[in-house]
Amino acid sequence: MEKAEGKVVSVNESLVGVENTKGAVMNGEVAYIVIEDGKRLKSEVIDVKPGKLVYLQVFEDTSWMKIGDHVEFTGLPLAVKLGPGILGSVTDGLQNPLYELAKKEWFLERGMVVKPLNTETKWHFSPQVKLGDKVTAGSVLGTVPEKIFTHKIFVPFSMLDDYTITSIAPEGDYTIEKTIATVANDQGETFDLTMAFEWPVKQPMPFHKRSVPAETLPTGMRILDALFPIAYGGTACSPGPFGAGKTVLQHSIAKHSRADVVIIAACGERAGEAVEVFKDFPELIDPRTGNSLMDRTYIVGNTSSMPVAAREASVYMATAVGEYYRKQGLNVLILADSTSRWAQALRETSGRKEEIPGPEAFPMYISTLISAFYDRAGVEILPDGSKSSLSIIGTVSPAGGNFDEPVTQATLLSTGAFLGLSRALSDARKYPAIDRIDSNSKYPSLIENEEVNFLKELLREGKSIASNLLLRGERGITNDAYIIYQKAELLDAVFLQQNSFHDIDGVTNPQRLRLMFDMIRYIIEAPVNIDLKDDIRSHFNFIRQAFIDWNYLQMDDPKFEKQKAKITNLVKQKINVKENV
């Protein structure tokens, strides 16, 4: 098919108007604008007008672009290269390896392109099919080792017919560009297959069979695993003002969650925060393997200083890679930071297209795009009966911490867990600063529903009494109310708060979570026979410090059980209750 061509007729920041001079143009296809120095700037068709006018969003800086520049249309959508070698890499939203680009130039110049996957690395291929076998889209041709996983080599998902294996490479070492199999369809057409293939980033990969998220994804964070859980294949949003701890929260989840693969989409965050991710993650040690955390991590980096169109591309690039590793049978977690910057990029593009604006000038279809993004998460039942999942946690940065703005509201309607971050809690140095009252989750917890409701009810009572304390002072409330307030404060201080920089308290496994909950419930349910408020406060301060000291001990440390007994004895000093915890 003849490829279309055109010429530039208008330039409005990243939105470029093009007159179509030859061939047909498809909405969503990739085009290259050839500028004066011969460099080719990648772009995407986002609007095809009646007549010959086409609008492109350009993924790079459009400075010095001029009227009449030549445009070449590819006829293909924006796609990701899928195959072994993705894990451990850091790319931009167009899958250009950033470390490889940095080797070529000190500053990332326009038009620079590097192959997304290393074509010189050899992978040890072990075939799993033989001559004459029937295959179709998603069939496994063989496997190669990748980092800590076994990477399946698929028949490309776009090949939907039935095919017959006519040749298959023997076990050995091959590059991703080497033909490892040849297949033929019923019409006799043959196709050479390699270890890698492309997939359109904006097209969701089809589920073999979809299932409902019903199993808790342990994150190592007590407030999440107990009160506001996230599920394998579930979705969550974490809105909050600047400085409330969104990035630290995501880093902790990335390091300690039970996900097999972690994908970080830095879609428009400030360059300083993105650089922190690039520097820190290669140095982090995976507590499960003892190796680098990057062995099971993929980072897509598009900062706020990059063109707005690249932010949108980075979200879809991360999601497509996540879906691919879900097909591998793995549990994948995507951390998108921040979807507000992505939405702002969509607002800028919509304004330049002169579309009718919606609330706060966001496009009218913003909620549809956000919903479609989170809908790509889910649990998949694979052909062999095993389950894999793709979970998505997106941070939202509403201006002024206003949760009523359109992006936050659209995200809340599309996600299963709401982890609202509080400025008051972060200012009080309470980490994680997740609002204990307003946050919620529809997913199952690592503790029972009755136990979750027990904790939430205490937190609500404690907050109500705290308001009365501000108005009336300690003399204005009863001793019973003051004891409930102290118990709520103890729950917050020793169970909901964690020291993310401490090797032990920074992560809590499900077994330890159960022990801690049983102890905290024992303390809360125990009556306190003290008459003076100063003595009540002192009593709970002693328990709080003993509990925090317990949090800093390993479970196999001989001191662990001694410290547990110390907490129990402190409680028994003022009560008359059963002997067993």
CA gyration radius for the chain? Answer: 27
Q: Which helix (H) or strand (E) holds 161?
A: none
Q: What are the residue ranges of CATH 2.40.50.100 in the chain? A: 123-195
The predicted pLDDT at position 510 comes to 96
| Token pair 């029937």: residue | 134
Helices and strands, counts by H and E, the chain? 14, 26
Q: Residue 441 corresponds to which tokens in the numbers above?
A: 């989750």
Other Cβ atoms closer than 10 A to 278: 15
The predicted pLDDT at position 60 comes to 86
What is the per-residue burial (b if ≥16 Cβ within 10 Å, else e) of 92-108? bbbbbbbebbeeeeeee
| Token pair 């507590």: residue | 287
Q: What are the residue ranges of CATH 2.40.10.170 in the chain? A: 5-77
pLDDT in tens, 83-129: 999 999 999 888 989 888 777 766 667 778 889 999 999 999 999 99
What strands lie across the sheet with 140-146, from one edge to the other?
149-154, 140-146, 123-127, 172-174
The predicted pLDDT at position 581 comes to 43
**What class does CATH assign to 449-572?**
mainly alpha
Q: What are the residue ranges of CATH 3.40.50.300 in the chain? A: 87-103+207-441
Strands (E) across 23-108 are located at: 29-34, 40-48, 53-58, 70-77, 79-82, 90-91
The predicted pLDDT at position 576 comes to 53
CA distance 423 to 427: 6
Helix 366-374, helix 406-414: angle, nearest 10? 40
The pTM is what?
0.93
Q: What are the residue ranges of CATH 1.10.1140.10 in the chain? A: 449-572
Q: Is the dihedral of CA 576, 577, 579, 581 positive or negative?
A: negative
Nearest CA to 551 out of 492, 491, 488, 495 is that of: 495
Q: Which amino acid type is present at position 480?
A: D
Helix 533-551, helix 479-491: angle, nearest 10? 10
Annotate 443-456 with DSSP letters as a single string.
SPPSS-HHHHHHHH
Q: Residue 183 corresponds to which tokens in the numbers above?
A: 């297949």
CA distance 200 to 319: 11
Q: Which fold has domain 123-195?
A: OB fold (Dihydrolipoamide Acetyltransferase, E2P) (2.40.50)
- 5-77: in CATH 1.10.1060.10: no
Other Cβ atoms closer than 10 A to 160: 12
Q: Tell me: cis bond preceding 432? Omega within 30 of 0 counts.
A: yes
The predicted pLDDT at position 580 comes to 43
Nearest CA to 479 out of 520, 540, 523, 522 is that of: 540
CA distance 564 to 325: 42
The predicted pLDDT at position 415 comes to 96
- 87-103+207-441: in CATH 3.40.50.300: yes
| Cβ atoms 78, 202 nearer than 8 A | yes
CA distance 252 to 241: 19
Nearest CA to 489 out of 577, 425, 423, 398 is that of: 425
Per-residue pLDDT of the chain (581 residues; tens, 9 = 90+): 678 999 999 998 889 999 999 999 999 999 999 998 888 999 999 999 988 999 999 988 888 899 999 999 999 999 999 999 999 999 988 898 988 877 776 666 777 888 999 999 999 999 999 999 999 999 999 999 999 999 999 999 999 999 999 999 999 999 999 999 999 999 989 999 999 999 999 999 999 999 999 999 999 999 999 999 999 999 999 998 877 888 788 888 988 899 999 999 988 666 666 667 777 777 777 777 778 888 999 999 877 667 777 778 889 999 999 999 999 999 999 999 888 888 888 888 888 888 888 888 999 999 999 999 999 999 999 999 999 999 999 998 887 778 889 999 999 999 999 999 998 899 888 999 999 999 999 999 999 999 999 999 999 999 999 999 988 888 889 999 999 999 999 999 999 999 988 889 999 999 999 999 999 999 999 999 898 999 999 999 999 999 999 999 999 999 999 999 999 999 988 665 444 44
What is the per-residue burial (b if ≥16 Cβ within 10 Å, else e) of 529-539? ebeebeebeeb
Residues 6+ away with beta carbon under 8 Å from 81: 95, 115, 116, 117, 196, 197, 198
CA distance 165 to 179: 13
Strands (E) across 294-356 are located at: 297-302, 331-336
Other Cβ atoms closer than 10 A to 292: 16
The predicted pLDDT at position 579 comes to 41
Burial zone of 295 (CB within 10 Å; 0-12 exposed, 13-18 middle, 19+ buried): middle
| Cβ atoms 331, 261 nearer than 8 A | yes
